[in-house]
Chains A and B, each alone.
Chain A
Amino acid sequence: MTTGPARSIDHLRRKLLMLSALVEESARRSVLAMRGKDKLAAGAVVRSDAEIDTLEIAIEEDCVALLAQPPLRLEDTRVIVAFLKINTDLERIGDLAGNIARHVEDLSVHEQALLPADLLRMADAALAMLRRALDSFVEADVSMARAVCAGDDEVDALNREMYQLVQQRIMENPAMTGRLLNVLGIARHLERIADCATNIAEVVVYIDSGSIIRHGRNPLPPESAP
């Protein structure tokens, strides 16, 4: 069903959902590896990125092929364009999960090191946003999608706090700088996963209403966020 080039929008949608499953699992694994400072698990996340990239390229080609098949109704075109956007965001989340995993590989040397509670909270919040964004896509639930967009501020705030915390700890204990920079890196990537989840939620709203909310609602476009 999900192998081979997509013949219909439904088929394409299923492939995209498959990619979303891969990416969400990858993100979860990276956070799980972070919690356990598990080098092996982190390595598995880094390696899984190749599979995500392959599927992303296949989906993009399918989208282009479907767009080249007239006659297409306006709604169909909009859906395919939306799929393209979600596809890109998913691939980016896959990359970010890989980046987190690389930081975890570095961190795992310090087995006894404790992670800041805020980092764990950030990870939970970002994963929850990703899950809800994908749920809103599956269920075509616009109100859930809007709620996801609204939740981005919390992760942004946590990220800023993390930045200050790391700055302060480095000043207190310069020997821990390397370790703390890894923590900061993870926080930044988590924040960008939350941004990508927000993008996906915005596309869900776009599919439903055709209206583009991304620049109206967010004072900062996701790409230029810290």
Chain B
Amino acid sequence: MRSRLQSAVRAGWATSGAALVLAAAAVIAVVSEAPAGLDPRGCSLSQSLVPPSFPQHIFGFDLQGCDLLVLTMAGTRNSLLVGLLATILALAVAIPTGTTAGFAGGWVDGLVGRLVDLVTALPIILIGLVVLSGLDHRGVLLVAIVMAVAAWPIYTRVIRAATARESELAHVDAARALGASRPRLLVRHVLPGSLGSVVAVIPATIAFTIGAEALLSFLGAGLQLPDVSWGVLLAEAQRYIRQAPHLMLPGLFLLVVTGALVVVGEAARVRVPK
């Protein structure tokens, strides 16, 4: 029988392509200098809103006469950073709460369950918008915290269900019968099985976070210039879209990256046992 690792590596072309796209986006995020496109010396007002030309400036220019492709690549860093930071923060909350609830059961489970229900019912993005719009400076970390608050119930739900299911397996009973302590049972025998299910949810949730950042910025409550992100660029585009439809092009980056994340997430969901 093929090992799980081998079958995980044997990905279809869609998944491989999506993984390549994500790798490319990561490289762009690391390599591109965030303020490069906004450098006043790099832009020229005489080129304000000049439409795309092939092959030098395939995205055209924005209102300030900056190359839109350079800006979009610069925005990649902040957009991905928000997604990544939010995921790390959300997991930092979800792994302890989810495993405790699933492993301990009883009133702890009930409490975590109600909390998850509560936050799921709240339109967090809206509340985040209310809170953020009252602040003068909104950085990447602040926006990521709002996204993390929105994302942790998703992870907690999944981890809790997986932990509860895993705890009832025979090998956990066997370890318990051999006298393993509760922490050891949890860390050595339950967690390795249960964390797999959360991996499958991560890509789609990152996609959601990146989209939500774009949304907040679009409505003027997310990142703001001089911080660039795809959402910030789309927010700028909104005003001049009639004169210059090419300003919508940063959305292409957004669509391709979130699309790739969803594809990878689908592949992971099929592979990871429920």
A binds B: no
Q: Which residues of B contact A (CB under 8 A)?
A: none
Q: Which residues of A contact B (CB under 8 A)?
A: none
